[in-house]
Structure 1
Amino acid sequence: MTRTTSLYAALVALVLAASASSAQDTQNGPPVLPAAAPDVEGPPLAQDVGMSVRAPEQVLLGQWFELVLAGPLSTDAELGFSLRPPDLMAKRSVTKATITGVELRLPLVAVRAGTLTLDGLMIEDGETLLGVAPIQIEVLTELPPEATARVAAPLAALSLPLPAVPVWPVLAALLLGLALIGMWVVRAGRELPVVVYTEPPDQRAMRALEHLRLGLPNTSEQVAVFILALSDVLRDYIERRFLVHAPARTTEEFLIEALREPELAQHKPSLERFLTLCDLVKYARFRPAPSEAVTLLDTACAFVEQTR
Protein backbone atom coordinates (compact mmCIF):
# COMPACT_ATOMS: atom_id res chain seq x y z
CA MET A 1 0.00 0.00 0.00
CA THR A 2 2.75 2.36 0.90
CA ARG A 3 4.62 1.55 -2.36
CA THR A 4 1.48 2.19 -4.43
CA THR A 5 0.98 5.53 -2.74
CA SER A 6 4.56 6.56 -3.44
CA LEU A 7 4.27 5.67 -7.11
CA TYR A 8 1.05 7.64 -7.39
CA ALA A 9 2.63 10.69 -5.76
CA ALA A 10 5.63 10.51 -8.10
CA LEU A 11 3.32 10.28 -11.15
CA VAL A 12 1.33 13.33 -10.01
CA ALA A 13 4.55 15.28 -9.50
CA LEU A 14 5.73 14.47 -13.04
CA VAL A 15 2.39 15.58 -14.52
CA LEU A 16 2.45 18.85 -12.58
CA ALA A 17 6.06 19.57 -13.65
CA ALA A 18 5.23 18.94 -17.30
CA SER A 19 2.19 21.23 -17.10
CA ALA A 20 4.23 24.02 -15.50
CA SER A 21 6.91 23.77 -18.19
CA SER A 22 4.29 23.90 -20.97
CA ALA A 23 2.62 26.93 -19.41
CA GLN A 24 5.94 28.78 -19.16
CA ASP A 25 6.77 28.13 -22.84
CA THR A 26 3.34 29.38 -23.90
CA GLN A 27 3.72 32.59 -21.86
CA ASN A 28 7.15 33.53 -23.28
CA GLY A 29 6.30 32.95 -26.99
CA PRO A 30 8.71 33.49 -29.98
CA PRO A 31 11.01 36.62 -30.05
CA VAL A 32 9.49 39.70 -31.88
CA LEU A 33 11.87 41.20 -34.58
CA PRO A 34 11.69 44.97 -35.39
CA ALA A 35 10.30 45.75 -38.86
CA ALA A 36 12.95 46.91 -41.33
CA ALA A 37 12.66 50.55 -42.38
CA PRO A 38 11.63 50.87 -46.01
CA ASP A 39 14.46 52.04 -48.33
CA VAL A 40 14.02 55.63 -49.58
CA GLU A 41 15.35 55.97 -53.13
CA GLY A 42 16.03 59.24 -54.91
CA PRO A 43 14.96 60.07 -58.48
CA PRO A 44 16.67 58.14 -61.31
CA LEU A 45 19.85 59.65 -62.77
CA ALA A 46 19.78 61.25 -66.19
CA GLN A 47 22.90 59.29 -67.20
CA ASP A 48 21.09 56.01 -66.43
CA VAL A 49 18.10 56.77 -68.68
CA GLY A 50 20.13 57.45 -71.83
CA MET A 51 20.78 61.19 -71.50
CA SER A 52 24.18 62.65 -72.43
CA VAL A 53 25.99 65.18 -70.22
CA ARG A 54 28.64 67.57 -71.58
CA ALA A 55 30.76 69.81 -69.35
CA PRO A 56 34.28 71.25 -69.70
CA GLU A 57 37.00 69.60 -67.64
CA GLN A 58 38.71 72.93 -66.93
CA VAL A 59 37.35 76.50 -66.86
CA LEU A 60 38.75 79.93 -66.12
CA LEU A 61 37.88 81.75 -62.93
CA GLY A 62 35.20 84.37 -63.65
CA GLN A 63 34.45 83.10 -67.20
CA TRP A 64 30.97 81.84 -68.09
CA PHE A 65 30.65 78.27 -69.39
CA GLU A 66 27.76 75.89 -70.17
CA LEU A 67 26.61 72.54 -68.80
CA VAL A 68 24.67 70.73 -71.55
CA LEU A 69 22.26 67.78 -71.06
CA ALA A 70 20.60 66.19 -74.10
CA GLY A 71 17.96 63.48 -74.31
CA PRO A 72 14.28 62.61 -74.78
CA LEU A 73 12.64 65.50 -72.91
CA SER A 74 9.88 68.00 -73.60
CA THR A 75 10.56 71.63 -74.38
CA ASP A 76 9.09 72.56 -70.97
CA ALA A 77 11.90 70.76 -69.11
CA GLU A 78 14.13 72.81 -66.81
CA LEU A 79 17.59 72.18 -65.37
CA GLY A 80 18.71 73.65 -62.04
CA PHE A 81 20.09 73.01 -58.56
CA SER A 82 18.18 71.74 -55.55
CA LEU A 83 20.86 73.53 -53.52
CA ARG A 84 23.31 75.70 -55.49
CA PRO A 85 26.99 75.43 -54.42
CA PRO A 86 28.22 78.66 -52.75
CA ASP A 87 31.22 78.98 -55.12
CA LEU A 88 29.03 79.14 -58.23
CA MET A 89 26.76 81.62 -60.01
CA ALA A 90 24.09 80.35 -62.42
CA LYS A 91 21.52 81.69 -64.86
CA ARG A 92 18.21 80.14 -65.92
CA SER A 93 18.57 77.10 -68.17
CA VAL A 94 17.82 77.40 -71.90
CA THR A 95 15.87 74.72 -73.78
CA LYS A 96 16.72 73.93 -77.41
CA ALA A 97 14.94 71.35 -79.58
CA THR A 98 17.16 69.10 -81.73
CA ILE A 99 16.65 66.22 -84.15
CA THR A 100 17.38 63.62 -81.46
CA GLY A 101 15.48 65.28 -78.61
CA VAL A 102 15.96 68.36 -76.44
CA GLU A 103 19.10 70.07 -75.14
CA LEU A 104 19.15 71.82 -71.76
CA ARG A 105 21.91 74.46 -71.49
CA LEU A 106 22.74 75.86 -68.04
CA PRO A 107 25.11 78.91 -68.00
CA LEU A 108 27.49 78.84 -65.00
CA VAL A 109 30.47 80.83 -63.71
CA ALA A 110 32.84 79.84 -60.89
CA VAL A 111 33.87 82.50 -58.35
CA ARG A 112 36.61 80.53 -56.58
CA ALA A 113 39.62 78.63 -57.92
CA GLY A 114 40.09 74.91 -57.20
CA THR A 115 38.00 71.78 -57.71
CA LEU A 116 34.31 72.59 -58.24
CA THR A 117 31.77 69.79 -57.65
CA LEU A 118 28.41 70.24 -59.39
CA ASP A 119 26.12 68.36 -57.01
CA GLY A 120 22.37 68.58 -56.51
CA LEU A 121 21.51 69.08 -60.21
CA MET A 122 17.90 68.19 -61.00
CA ILE A 123 15.84 68.00 -64.22
CA GLU A 124 12.12 68.78 -63.91
CA ASP A 125 9.97 67.74 -66.87
CA GLY A 126 6.31 68.01 -65.89
CA GLU A 127 5.76 65.39 -63.18
CA THR A 128 9.03 63.63 -64.04
CA LEU A 129 12.04 64.35 -61.87
CA LEU A 130 15.58 63.24 -62.77
CA GLY A 131 18.82 63.64 -60.89
CA VAL A 132 22.30 64.20 -62.33
CA ALA A 133 25.40 62.43 -61.06
CA PRO A 134 27.97 64.81 -59.48
CA ILE A 135 30.37 66.45 -61.97
CA GLN A 136 33.82 67.77 -61.07
CA ILE A 137 35.42 70.71 -62.89
CA GLU A 138 38.82 72.29 -62.28
CA VAL A 139 38.64 76.10 -61.94
CA LEU A 140 41.94 77.74 -62.92
CA THR A 141 43.21 81.32 -62.93
CA GLU A 142 45.24 80.62 -66.09
CA LEU A 143 44.63 77.77 -68.54
CA PRO A 144 47.51 75.79 -70.09
CA PRO A 145 47.65 76.00 -73.92
CA GLU A 146 46.70 72.34 -74.43
CA ALA A 147 43.50 72.76 -72.39
CA THR A 148 42.08 75.62 -74.45
CA ALA A 149 40.24 73.28 -76.82
CA ARG A 150 38.36 71.66 -73.91
CA VAL A 151 36.85 74.90 -72.63
CA ALA A 152 33.27 75.64 -73.64
CA ALA A 153 32.85 78.57 -76.02
CA PRO A 154 31.70 81.81 -74.34
CA LEU A 155 28.09 82.85 -74.63
CA ALA A 156 27.19 84.97 -77.65
CA ALA A 157 26.83 88.69 -77.01
CA LEU A 158 23.26 89.90 -76.62
CA SER A 159 22.30 92.51 -79.20
CA LEU A 160 19.20 94.61 -78.58
CA PRO A 161 17.52 96.67 -81.31
CA LEU A 162 17.92 100.39 -80.67
CA PRO A 163 15.11 102.80 -81.46
CA ALA A 164 15.65 105.06 -84.45
CA VAL A 165 16.76 108.57 -83.43
CA PRO A 166 16.45 111.56 -85.79
CA VAL A 167 19.88 112.80 -86.87
CA TRP A 168 19.23 116.51 -87.41
CA PRO A 169 18.22 117.39 -83.82
CA VAL A 170 21.37 115.68 -82.54
CA LEU A 171 23.61 117.55 -85.00
CA ALA A 172 21.92 120.84 -84.13
CA ALA A 173 22.50 120.26 -80.43
CA LEU A 174 26.17 119.42 -81.07
CA LEU A 175 26.71 122.56 -83.14
CA LEU A 176 25.02 124.68 -80.50
CA GLY A 177 27.22 123.17 -77.80
CA LEU A 178 30.37 123.82 -79.82
CA ALA A 179 29.30 127.41 -80.43
CA LEU A 180 28.72 128.00 -76.72
CA ILE A 181 32.12 126.51 -75.85
CA GLY A 182 33.81 128.74 -78.47
CA MET A 183 32.11 131.85 -77.12
CA TRP A 184 33.17 130.98 -73.57
CA VAL A 185 36.81 130.49 -74.66
CA VAL A 186 36.88 133.79 -76.54
CA ARG A 187 35.38 135.72 -73.64
CA ALA A 188 37.68 134.09 -71.12
CA GLY A 189 40.65 135.15 -73.24
CA ARG A 190 42.47 131.87 -72.79
CA GLU A 191 42.95 128.62 -74.65
CA LEU A 192 41.57 125.27 -73.62
CA PRO A 193 43.95 123.47 -71.24
CA VAL A 194 46.11 120.77 -72.77
CA VAL A 195 47.17 117.85 -70.57
CA VAL A 196 50.91 117.18 -70.85
CA TYR A 197 52.38 114.15 -69.12
CA THR A 198 55.95 114.75 -67.97
CA GLU A 199 56.66 111.24 -66.64
CA PRO A 200 56.60 108.34 -69.14
CA PRO A 201 53.50 106.15 -68.63
CA ASP A 202 55.49 102.91 -68.20
CA GLN A 203 57.75 104.40 -65.50
CA ARG A 204 54.75 105.84 -63.67
CA ALA A 205 52.95 102.48 -63.80
CA MET A 206 55.98 100.41 -62.72
CA ARG A 207 56.60 102.77 -59.79
CA ALA A 208 52.99 102.36 -58.66
CA LEU A 209 53.12 98.57 -59.08
CA GLU A 210 56.32 98.28 -57.03
CA HIS A 211 54.66 100.36 -54.33
CA LEU A 212 51.77 97.86 -54.27
CA ARG A 213 54.25 94.99 -54.03
CA LEU A 214 55.50 96.42 -50.73
CA GLY A 215 52.02 96.00 -49.20
CA LEU A 216 50.79 92.58 -50.33
CA PRO A 217 47.50 91.60 -48.65
CA ASN A 218 47.13 88.95 -45.94
CA THR A 219 43.33 88.68 -45.69
CA SER A 220 40.47 88.38 -48.18
CA GLU A 221 39.25 91.93 -47.47
CA GLN A 222 42.75 93.29 -48.07
CA VAL A 223 42.85 91.36 -51.36
CA ALA A 224 39.71 93.16 -52.56
CA VAL A 225 41.24 96.60 -51.83
CA PHE A 226 44.52 95.49 -53.42
CA ILE A 227 42.87 94.33 -56.67
CA LEU A 228 40.85 97.55 -57.03
CA ALA A 229 44.05 99.60 -56.57
CA LEU A 230 45.81 97.37 -59.12
CA SER A 231 42.96 97.95 -61.59
CA ASP A 232 43.27 101.75 -61.16
CA VAL A 233 47.01 101.61 -61.90
CA LEU A 234 46.49 99.51 -65.04
CA ARG A 235 43.68 101.70 -66.38
CA ASP A 236 45.74 104.87 -65.72
CA TYR A 237 48.64 103.34 -67.67
CA ILE A 238 46.39 102.42 -70.61
CA GLU A 239 44.91 105.94 -70.69
CA ARG A 240 48.34 107.60 -70.76
CA ARG A 241 50.08 105.08 -73.03
CA PHE A 242 47.37 104.55 -75.68
CA LEU A 243 45.28 107.72 -75.14
CA VAL A 244 42.21 105.62 -74.31
CA HIS A 245 39.99 107.13 -71.64
CA ALA A 246 39.80 103.84 -69.69
CA PRO A 247 38.83 104.95 -66.14
CA ALA A 248 35.41 106.30 -67.21
CA ARG A 249 34.43 103.28 -69.32
CA THR A 250 32.81 99.99 -68.40
CA THR A 251 34.67 96.76 -69.11
CA GLU A 252 32.64 96.09 -72.27
CA GLU A 253 33.12 99.64 -73.60
CA PHE A 254 36.83 99.56 -72.86
CA LEU A 255 37.37 96.22 -74.65
CA ILE A 256 35.59 97.54 -77.75
CA GLU A 257 37.87 100.58 -77.70
CA ALA A 258 40.93 98.37 -77.12
CA LEU A 259 40.30 96.43 -80.34
CA ARG A 260 41.03 99.60 -82.30
CA GLU A 261 44.62 99.63 -80.98
CA PRO A 262 46.74 96.85 -82.56
CA GLU A 263 49.01 96.63 -79.52
CA LEU A 264 46.06 96.30 -77.16
CA ALA A 265 44.12 93.89 -79.40
CA GLN A 266 46.73 91.14 -79.01
CA HIS A 267 46.40 91.41 -75.20
CA LYS A 268 42.58 91.34 -75.23
CA PRO A 269 42.16 87.81 -73.65
CA SER A 270 44.35 88.60 -70.62
CA LEU A 271 42.82 92.07 -70.20
CA GLU A 272 39.31 90.61 -70.39
CA ARG A 273 40.06 88.04 -67.68
CA PHE A 274 41.72 90.66 -65.46
CA LEU A 275 38.94 93.24 -65.78
CA THR A 276 36.22 90.59 -65.32
CA LEU A 277 37.87 89.51 -62.07
CA CYS A 278 37.97 93.16 -60.94
CA ASP A 279 34.24 93.48 -61.72
CA LEU A 280 33.51 90.36 -59.62
CA VAL A 281 35.44 91.87 -56.70
CA LYS A 282 33.75 95.26 -57.03
CA TYR A 283 30.14 94.28 -57.78
CA ALA A 284 29.71 90.59 -56.77
CA ARG A 285 31.74 90.83 -53.51
CA PHE A 286 34.05 88.06 -54.74
CA ARG A 287 37.06 87.64 -52.44
CA PRO A 288 40.07 85.80 -53.97
CA ALA A 289 42.68 84.10 -51.83
CA PRO A 290 45.65 86.29 -50.73
CA SER A 291 48.00 84.03 -52.71
CA GLU A 292 46.36 85.16 -55.97
CA ALA A 293 47.39 88.79 -55.39
CA VAL A 294 51.01 88.08 -56.36
CA THR A 295 49.91 86.34 -59.59
CA LEU A 296 47.73 89.31 -60.60
CA LEU A 297 50.50 91.78 -59.78
CA ASP A 298 53.02 89.83 -61.90
CA THR A 299 50.49 89.73 -64.77
CA ALA A 300 50.08 93.53 -64.62
CA CYS A 301 53.88 94.06 -64.56
CA ALA A 302 54.31 91.76 -67.57
CA PHE A 303 51.61 93.68 -69.48
CA VAL A 304 53.37 97.01 -68.86
CA GLU A 305 56.75 95.54 -69.86
CA GLN A 306 55.35 94.13 -73.13
CA THR A 307 53.54 97.33 -74.15
CA ARG A 308 55.94 100.05 -72.93
Structure 2
Amino acid sequence: MKGRNKYILIIFFVSFLTGVSVRSQTVEAIGLLSDDSISIGQQIGFELNLKIPEGFHVQWPQWSDTLASNLEILHKGNPETLPADKDGNVWMKQQMVLTTFDTGWIYIPGIDIQFAPAGDTIFYTAQSNPLMLRVETVAIDTTGTFKPIKDPLAEPITFAEILPWIIGILGLATLLFIIVWLYMRRRNKVKPLDPLVKPGIPPHIHALNQLEELRLKKLWQNGKVKDYYTQLSDIIRAYIEAQFPVNAIEMTTYEILAGLQPMNINSDAISKLANAFELADLVKFAKAQPSSMENDISLNHMIDFVNESHFVVQPTINVENGKEESL
Protein backbone atom coordinates (compact mmCIF):
# COMPACT_ATOMS: atom_id res chain seq x y z
CA MET A 1 0.00 0.00 0.00
CA LYS A 2 2.90 2.37 0.83
CA GLY A 3 4.46 1.63 -2.56
CA ARG A 4 1.26 2.58 -4.35
CA ASN A 5 1.00 5.89 -2.44
CA LYS A 6 4.58 6.60 -3.38
CA TYR A 7 3.81 6.18 -7.08
CA ILE A 8 0.73 8.38 -6.80
CA LEU A 9 2.76 11.16 -5.17
CA ILE A 10 5.33 10.94 -7.93
CA ILE A 11 2.63 11.24 -10.60
CA PHE A 12 1.04 14.18 -8.79
CA PHE A 13 4.40 15.93 -8.59
CA VAL A 14 5.30 15.33 -12.22
CA SER A 15 1.89 16.56 -13.40
CA PHE A 16 2.97 20.06 -12.40
CA LEU A 17 5.85 19.77 -14.84
CA THR A 18 3.74 18.76 -17.87
CA GLY A 19 2.90 22.33 -18.76
CA VAL A 20 5.54 24.09 -20.87
CA SER A 21 5.49 27.87 -21.16
CA VAL A 22 6.75 29.24 -24.47
CA ARG A 23 6.69 33.05 -24.80
CA SER A 24 3.93 33.23 -22.20
CA GLN A 25 1.88 30.61 -24.05
CA THR A 26 1.27 27.32 -22.29
CA VAL A 27 1.52 23.89 -23.97
CA GLU A 28 0.19 21.00 -21.91
CA ALA A 29 0.35 17.21 -22.57
CA ILE A 30 -1.92 14.89 -20.60
CA GLY A 31 -2.16 11.07 -20.65
CA LEU A 32 -5.34 9.34 -19.41
CA LEU A 33 -6.29 5.71 -18.75
CA SER A 34 -9.92 4.60 -18.81
CA ASP A 35 -9.32 2.67 -15.56
CA ASP A 36 -6.58 2.30 -12.98
CA SER A 37 -6.59 -1.52 -12.94
CA ILE A 38 -7.46 -4.44 -15.21
CA SER A 39 -7.35 -8.22 -15.17
CA ILE A 40 -4.63 -9.98 -17.12
CA GLY A 41 -5.45 -10.03 -20.84
CA GLN A 42 -8.20 -7.44 -20.44
CA GLN A 43 -8.30 -4.40 -22.72
CA ILE A 44 -8.08 -0.80 -21.51
CA GLY A 45 -8.38 2.57 -23.22
CA PHE A 46 -5.60 5.17 -23.29
CA GLU A 47 -5.87 8.77 -24.50
CA LEU A 48 -3.08 11.24 -25.17
CA ASN A 49 -4.16 14.92 -25.15
CA LEU A 50 -2.22 18.04 -26.13
CA LYS A 51 -3.33 21.59 -25.40
CA ILE A 52 -1.47 24.00 -27.66
CA PRO A 53 -1.97 27.52 -29.07
CA GLU A 54 -3.53 27.62 -32.51
CA GLY A 55 -0.98 27.86 -35.34
CA PHE A 56 1.80 25.94 -33.55
CA HIS A 57 3.51 23.14 -35.47
CA VAL A 58 3.28 19.69 -33.85
CA GLN A 59 5.27 16.51 -34.47
CA TRP A 60 3.00 13.78 -33.10
CA PRO A 61 4.69 10.65 -31.68
CA GLN A 62 5.32 7.68 -33.96
CA TRP A 63 4.18 4.56 -32.13
CA SER A 64 5.63 1.06 -32.14
CA ASP A 65 3.69 -2.05 -31.09
CA THR A 66 4.00 -1.23 -27.40
CA LEU A 67 3.32 1.82 -25.28
CA ALA A 68 5.45 0.64 -22.37
CA SER A 69 7.19 -2.53 -21.27
CA ASN A 70 4.81 -5.47 -21.88
CA LEU A 71 1.92 -3.10 -22.63
CA GLU A 72 0.77 -3.88 -26.17
CA ILE A 73 -1.08 -1.49 -28.49
CA LEU A 74 -4.03 -3.33 -30.05
CA HIS A 75 -5.54 -0.40 -31.91
CA LYS A 76 -4.54 3.19 -32.65
CA GLY A 77 -7.02 5.84 -33.66
CA ASN A 78 -6.04 8.77 -35.84
CA PRO A 79 -5.01 12.01 -34.10
CA GLU A 80 -7.90 14.47 -33.90
CA THR A 81 -7.87 18.26 -33.56
CA LEU A 82 -10.74 20.12 -31.89
CA PRO A 83 -11.69 23.69 -32.79
CA ALA A 84 -9.86 26.50 -30.95
CA ASP A 85 -11.42 27.78 -27.74
CA LYS A 86 -11.94 31.44 -26.81
CA ASP A 87 -8.33 31.70 -25.60
CA GLY A 88 -6.97 30.59 -28.98
CA ASN A 89 -5.94 27.12 -27.80
CA VAL A 90 -6.71 23.88 -29.60
CA TRP A 91 -6.86 20.37 -28.18
CA MET A 92 -5.27 17.47 -30.05
CA LYS A 93 -5.93 13.90 -28.95
CA GLN A 94 -5.37 10.30 -29.95
CA GLN A 95 -7.07 7.24 -28.50
CA MET A 96 -5.66 3.71 -28.20
CA VAL A 97 -6.66 0.28 -26.94
CA LEU A 98 -4.04 -1.51 -24.81
CA THR A 99 -3.62 -4.90 -23.19
CA THR A 100 -1.02 -6.87 -21.26
CA PHE A 101 -0.39 -10.41 -20.11
CA ASP A 102 1.85 -9.52 -17.17
CA THR A 103 0.62 -8.97 -13.64
CA GLY A 104 1.53 -6.34 -11.08
CA TRP A 105 2.21 -2.64 -11.50
CA ILE A 106 3.11 -1.36 -14.98
CA TYR A 107 4.77 2.05 -15.25
CA ILE A 108 3.82 4.16 -18.28
CA PRO A 109 6.44 6.89 -18.72
CA GLY A 110 5.63 10.36 -19.96
CA ILE A 111 5.30 10.69 -23.73
CA ASP A 112 7.28 13.39 -25.53
CA ILE A 113 5.52 15.58 -28.10
CA GLN A 114 7.60 17.98 -30.23
CA PHE A 115 6.18 21.39 -31.14
CA ALA A 116 7.31 24.78 -32.43
CA PRO A 117 5.59 28.19 -32.31
CA ALA A 118 4.34 29.61 -35.59
CA GLY A 119 7.23 31.10 -37.58
CA ASP A 120 9.84 29.48 -35.30
CA THR A 121 12.30 26.77 -36.38
CA ILE A 122 13.20 25.67 -32.86
CA PHE A 123 11.18 22.71 -31.57
CA TYR A 124 10.35 22.28 -27.90
CA THR A 125 9.20 19.21 -26.01
CA ALA A 126 6.04 18.75 -24.00
CA GLN A 127 5.90 15.58 -21.94
CA SER A 128 2.72 13.96 -20.71
CA ASN A 129 2.29 12.82 -17.14
CA PRO A 130 3.48 9.28 -16.31
CA LEU A 131 0.85 6.72 -15.32
CA MET A 132 0.62 3.53 -13.26
CA LEU A 133 -1.58 0.58 -14.20
CA ARG A 134 -2.41 -2.28 -11.88
CA VAL A 135 -2.79 -5.68 -13.60
CA GLU A 136 -4.43 -8.36 -11.50
CA THR A 137 -4.35 -12.10 -12.07
CA VAL A 138 -7.52 -14.12 -12.55
CA ALA A 139 -8.72 -15.75 -9.36
CA ILE A 140 -8.69 -19.55 -9.52
CA ASP A 141 -11.22 -21.60 -7.61
CA THR A 142 -9.05 -24.36 -6.14
CA THR A 143 -12.05 -26.03 -4.53
CA GLY A 144 -13.79 -26.82 -7.80
CA THR A 145 -13.30 -29.84 -10.04
CA PHE A 146 -11.50 -29.88 -13.34
CA LYS A 147 -13.73 -29.39 -16.36
CA PRO A 148 -13.11 -30.50 -19.94
CA ILE A 149 -11.93 -28.06 -22.58
CA LYS A 150 -14.81 -26.26 -24.22
CA ASP A 151 -15.56 -27.05 -27.83
CA PRO A 152 -14.52 -24.44 -30.41
CA LEU A 153 -17.15 -21.83 -31.10
CA ALA A 154 -19.10 -22.55 -34.24
CA GLU A 155 -18.68 -19.92 -36.93
CA PRO A 156 -21.43 -19.15 -39.45
CA ILE A 157 -20.91 -20.64 -42.90
CA THR A 158 -20.09 -17.97 -45.48
CA PHE A 159 -21.20 -17.89 -49.11
CA ALA A 160 -17.57 -18.19 -50.23
CA GLU A 161 -17.32 -21.54 -48.41
CA ILE A 162 -20.40 -23.04 -50.06
CA LEU A 163 -19.77 -21.56 -53.53
CA PRO A 164 -17.48 -24.45 -54.65
CA TRP A 165 -20.17 -26.93 -53.59
CA ILE A 166 -22.82 -25.03 -55.54
CA ILE A 167 -20.62 -24.96 -58.65
CA GLY A 168 -19.86 -28.68 -58.28
CA ILE A 169 -23.53 -29.64 -57.90
CA LEU A 170 -24.56 -27.49 -60.88
CA GLY A 171 -21.75 -28.97 -62.97
CA LEU A 172 -22.76 -32.52 -62.05
CA ALA A 173 -26.42 -31.78 -62.79
CA THR A 174 -25.46 -30.31 -66.18
CA LEU A 175 -23.35 -33.37 -67.02
CA LEU A 176 -26.18 -35.74 -66.08
CA PHE A 177 -28.63 -33.70 -68.17
CA ILE A 178 -26.34 -33.89 -71.22
CA ILE A 179 -25.88 -37.66 -70.80
CA VAL A 180 -29.64 -38.25 -70.51
CA TRP A 181 -30.34 -35.92 -73.45
CA LEU A 182 -27.82 -37.70 -75.68
CA TYR A 183 -29.22 -41.08 -74.67
CA MET A 184 -32.81 -40.06 -75.40
CA ARG A 185 -31.79 -38.45 -78.69
CA ARG A 186 -29.98 -41.59 -79.79
CA ARG A 187 -32.86 -43.82 -78.71
CA ASN A 188 -35.44 -41.65 -80.44
CA LYS A 189 -33.33 -41.04 -83.52
CA VAL A 190 -35.57 -40.79 -86.58
CA LYS A 191 -35.26 -43.81 -88.80
CA PRO A 192 -35.77 -43.65 -92.59
CA LEU A 193 -39.44 -43.26 -93.39
CA ASP A 194 -39.49 -46.34 -95.59
CA PRO A 195 -39.16 -49.68 -93.80
CA LEU A 196 -35.84 -51.44 -94.22
CA VAL A 197 -37.40 -54.33 -96.04
CA LYS A 198 -41.00 -54.58 -97.14
CA PRO A 199 -42.54 -57.99 -96.54
CA GLY A 200 -41.95 -60.30 -99.49
CA ILE A 201 -39.55 -57.89 -101.28
CA PRO A 202 -35.81 -58.72 -101.26
CA PRO A 203 -33.60 -55.94 -99.82
CA HIS A 204 -31.79 -55.28 -103.10
CA ILE A 205 -35.06 -54.89 -105.05
CA HIS A 206 -36.41 -52.51 -102.42
CA ALA A 207 -33.17 -50.49 -102.50
CA LEU A 208 -33.13 -50.26 -106.30
CA ASN A 209 -36.74 -49.07 -106.31
CA GLN A 210 -35.92 -46.36 -103.76
CA LEU A 211 -32.86 -45.26 -105.74
CA GLU A 212 -34.97 -44.89 -108.86
CA GLU A 213 -37.57 -42.89 -106.92
CA LEU A 214 -34.76 -40.65 -105.65
CA ARG A 215 -33.58 -40.04 -109.22
CA LEU A 216 -37.11 -39.00 -110.26
CA LYS A 217 -37.41 -36.50 -107.36
CA LYS A 218 -34.69 -34.32 -108.99
CA LEU A 219 -33.61 -32.98 -105.61
CA TRP A 220 -30.13 -31.77 -106.57
CA GLN A 221 -31.51 -30.23 -109.77
CA ASN A 222 -33.75 -28.05 -107.55
CA GLY A 223 -30.90 -26.96 -105.26
CA LYS A 224 -31.56 -29.57 -102.54
CA VAL A 225 -28.13 -31.17 -102.80
CA LYS A 226 -27.81 -31.97 -99.09
CA ASP A 227 -31.24 -33.66 -98.99
CA TYR A 228 -30.28 -35.65 -102.08
CA TYR A 229 -27.11 -37.07 -100.52
CA THR A 230 -28.79 -37.64 -97.15
CA GLN A 231 -31.51 -39.80 -98.73
CA LEU A 232 -28.98 -41.55 -100.95
CA SER A 233 -26.89 -42.48 -97.91
CA ASP A 234 -29.94 -43.59 -95.88
CA ILE A 235 -31.19 -45.90 -98.67
CA ILE A 236 -27.86 -47.71 -98.96
CA ARG A 237 -27.40 -47.92 -95.17
CA ALA A 238 -30.85 -49.53 -94.87
CA TYR A 239 -29.99 -51.98 -97.67
CA ILE A 240 -26.67 -52.97 -96.07
CA GLU A 241 -28.29 -53.50 -92.67
CA ALA A 242 -31.02 -55.70 -94.21
CA GLN A 243 -28.68 -57.63 -96.51
CA PHE A 244 -25.66 -58.13 -94.25
CA PRO A 245 -25.04 -58.55 -90.50
CA VAL A 246 -23.86 -54.95 -90.27
CA ASN A 247 -25.64 -52.29 -88.17
CA ALA A 248 -25.06 -49.72 -90.90
CA ILE A 249 -27.72 -47.19 -89.86
CA GLU A 250 -25.88 -46.42 -86.61
CA MET A 251 -22.34 -46.67 -88.04
CA THR A 252 -19.92 -44.21 -89.59
CA THR A 253 -18.66 -44.68 -93.14
CA TYR A 254 -15.40 -46.15 -91.88
CA GLU A 255 -17.23 -48.63 -89.63
CA ILE A 256 -19.52 -49.73 -92.47
CA LEU A 257 -16.61 -50.40 -94.82
CA ALA A 258 -14.81 -52.32 -92.09
CA GLY A 259 -17.94 -54.38 -91.40
CA LEU A 260 -18.30 -55.28 -95.10
CA GLN A 261 -14.69 -56.37 -95.48
CA PRO A 262 -15.30 -60.07 -94.61
CA MET A 263 -18.40 -60.28 -96.86
CA ASN A 264 -16.53 -61.30 -100.05
CA ILE A 265 -17.81 -58.29 -102.02
CA ASN A 266 -15.57 -57.43 -104.97
CA SER A 267 -13.22 -54.52 -104.46
CA ASP A 268 -14.66 -52.49 -107.34
CA ALA A 269 -18.11 -52.43 -105.71
CA ILE A 270 -16.58 -51.50 -102.34
CA SER A 271 -14.59 -48.70 -104.00
CA LYS A 272 -17.74 -47.26 -105.60
CA LEU A 273 -19.56 -47.42 -102.26
CA ALA A 274 -16.66 -45.71 -100.46
CA ASN A 275 -16.47 -42.88 -103.03
CA ALA A 276 -20.21 -42.21 -102.86
CA PHE A 277 -20.25 -42.32 -99.03
CA GLU A 278 -17.21 -40.02 -98.80
CA LEU A 279 -18.80 -37.41 -101.07
CA ALA A 280 -22.08 -37.65 -99.11
CA ASP A 281 -20.21 -37.00 -95.85
CA LEU A 282 -18.46 -33.96 -97.32
CA VAL A 283 -21.76 -32.52 -98.53
CA LYS A 284 -23.39 -33.20 -95.17
CA PHE A 285 -20.77 -31.10 -93.38
CA ALA A 286 -20.74 -28.39 -96.09
CA LYS A 287 -17.18 -29.21 -97.15
CA ALA A 288 -17.94 -29.93 -100.80
CA GLN A 289 -20.17 -28.68 -103.63
CA PRO A 290 -20.34 -31.57 -106.11
CA SER A 291 -20.93 -31.01 -109.80
CA SER A 292 -23.92 -32.34 -111.73
CA MET A 293 -21.79 -35.17 -113.07
CA GLU A 294 -20.68 -36.15 -109.56
CA ASN A 295 -24.31 -36.20 -108.41
CA ASP A 296 -25.28 -38.64 -111.16
CA ILE A 297 -22.15 -40.75 -110.67
CA SER A 298 -22.83 -41.10 -106.92
CA LEU A 299 -26.31 -42.51 -107.61
CA ASN A 300 -24.99 -44.85 -110.31
CA HIS A 301 -22.22 -46.06 -107.96
CA MET A 302 -24.82 -46.93 -105.33
CA ILE A 303 -26.91 -48.82 -107.91
CA ASP A 304 -23.82 -50.72 -109.06
CA PHE A 305 -22.97 -51.62 -105.45
CA VAL A 306 -26.45 -53.06 -104.85
CA ASN A 307 -26.38 -55.05 -108.09
CA GLU A 308 -22.89 -56.43 -107.42
CA SER A 309 -23.36 -57.28 -103.75
CA HIS A 310 -26.84 -58.75 -103.27
CA PHE A 311 -25.91 -62.21 -104.58
CA VAL A 312 -22.73 -62.48 -102.49
CA VAL A 313 -22.55 -65.58 -100.31
CA GLN A 314 -21.82 -64.48 -96.73
CA PRO A 315 -19.32 -66.47 -94.65
CA THR A 316 -20.58 -67.98 -91.42
CA ILE A 317 -19.06 -70.08 -88.67
CA ASN A 318 -20.38 -73.50 -87.78
CA VAL A 319 -20.42 -73.45 -84.01
CA GLU A 320 -20.34 -77.23 -83.70
CA ASN A 321 -17.20 -78.02 -85.72
CA GLY A 322 -15.58 -74.54 -85.85
CA LYS A 323 -15.31 -74.65 -89.66
CA GLU A 324 -16.24 -71.79 -91.96
CA GLU A 325 -19.27 -72.49 -94.08
CA SER A 326 -21.35 -70.50 -96.56
CA LEU A 327 -24.71 -69.02 -95.63
Same fold (TM over 0.5): no
Query: Which one has a larger percent helix, Structure 1 or Structure 2?
Result: 1
Using the size of structure 1 for normalisation, the TM-score is 0.34
Query: Which one has a larger percent strand, Structure 1 or Structure 2?
Result: 2
The higher-RCO structure (CA 8 Å, 6+ apart) is 1
- Greater Rg, structure 1 or structure 2? 2
Using the size of structure 2 for normalisation, the TM-score is 0.32
